[in-house]
Amino acid sequence: MLKKGTRLYSIVHRKCPHCHEGEFMVSRNPYDLAHVGDLLENCPVCHRKFEPEPGFYYGGMYVSYALAVAQCVAVYIAVGVLAPSTTQTTRLFWVLGALVLLAPALYAWSKSLWVNLFTGYKGVERQPDEDVKWLPR
């Protein structure tokens, strides 16, 4: 299921959405706060652009929001199931703590997920029918 050539592979490993070999982010560690959310301009392997147009990744904010809501609901339910005698305040602290701890990872995955919604695996070699907007200028 997580083999090279699938979108899920590219999302989970944060690899180039085009070739699935090159790095997508400047830093592999989403908790490197000096480079959080920074993308490379081009793939170091296939040399395709990661940003087809200015503002492309604004849609990733909606993906990040959806991931954060899903995480909060999951943590709230998990705390309620594992410790049913906890108060609402305790559950809220668990939800907020998990949200703060996982926010950088959610942000990185949201950008990777967003770009993979609009691209597909092409391999390292350029295809003759490739769209020009993904090629470096």
Q: Domain-by-domain residue ranges, the chain?
A: 7-134
pLDDT given at position 89: 95
| Residue 22: both structure tokens together | 């090159």
pLDDT at 38: 86
Confidence at residue 77, expressed as pLDDT on a 0 to 100 scale:
96
Which 3 state secondary structure label does DSSP give 117?
helix
Q: What is the pLDDT of residue 119?
A: 85
pLDDT at position 100 is 95
Q: Could you give the angle at the alpha carbon of 92 between the alpha carbons of 90 and 94, nearest 5°?
A: 70
pLDDT (0 to 100) of residue 132? 54
Joined tokens for residue 107? 């942000």
Residue 68 one-letter amino acid:
A
Token readout for 36 is: 């959080």
pLDDT tens for the 137 residues of the chain, in order? 678 888 888 888 889 998 888 898 998 888 888 888 888 888 898 888 888 788 888 888 999 999 999 999 999 999 999 999 999 999 999 999 999 999 999 998 999 999 998 888 887 777 666 665 555 55
State pTM to two decimals. Answer: 0.79
